[in-house]
């Protein structure tokens, strides 16, 4: 703490002067896993049978 004199007021100043613009944007979590192991196995079977990736609605 005593190495660099960062007082409470300068911490406040950092929060004030460094504040990012408030402009929210949605970032929904994507689906990367099948709901169940059975679905996962079925997708593998489908890929093997049709030679192309299984597609899931998003």
Partner 1 sequence: MSESGPDGRTTLARTLALMFSVIAGLCAFELFLSYGASDGVDLIDWVRAAFICVSTFWLAWGAAQAVAGLTTRPPIPARHTGAIEAKTVVLVPVYNEDPVATFARVAAMDAAIRATGLGDKFHIAILSDTRDEKIALREEHWFLRLLSETRGEGRIFYRRRDQNHGRKAGNIAEFIKSSGAAYDFAIILDADSLMEAATMVEMVRRIQAEPNLGLLQTLPKIINARSRFGRLMQFSSSFYSPIFCRGLAMMQGRTGPFWGHNAIVRVPAFAASCGLPELSGSPPFGGHILSHDYVEAALLARQGWIVRVDDDLEGSYEEGPENIVDHAKRDRRWCQGNLQHSRLLLAPGLKPWSRFVFLQGILAYLSSLLWLGFLLGSIAAPLFTPPVDYFPIEGWPFPVLPPSETLKAIALGLGIVGLLLIPKVLILTDAARRGRSIGFGGVGQTIRSGVSEFLYTSIAAPVFLMYQTRSILQVVFGIDGGWPAQVRGDGQLDFGQAWAASNWIVFSGAIGLALTHFFAPHLLMWLLPVTGPMVLAPLIIAWCSRPGNERLFSTPLTLTSSTLIKEHHRILSRWLGEDQSTSSKSVGSGAAQRTIARV
List residues binding partner 1 (CB under 8 A): 1, 3-4, 6, 10-11, 13-14, 17-34, 40, 43-44, 47, 52-56, 58
CA–CA separation, 5 vs 7, rounded Å?
A: 6
Cβ neighbours for 31, distance < 8 A, ≥ 6 positions apart = 56, 58
- CB contact at 8 A, 47 and 54: yes
CB of residue 49 vs partner 1: minimum separation in angstroms? 14
CB of residue 8 vs partner 1: minimum separation in angstroms? 11
Q: Which is nearer to partner 1, 1 or 49 (CB)?
A: 1
């Amino acid at each position: 703490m005593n190495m660099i004199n960062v007082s409470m007021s300068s911490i406040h100043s950092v929060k004030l002067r460094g504040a990012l613009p408030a402009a929210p944007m949605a970032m929904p979590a994507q689906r990367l896993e099948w709901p169940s192991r059975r679905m996962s196995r079925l997708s593998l079977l489908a890929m093997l049978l049709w030679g192309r990736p299984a597609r899931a609605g998003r």
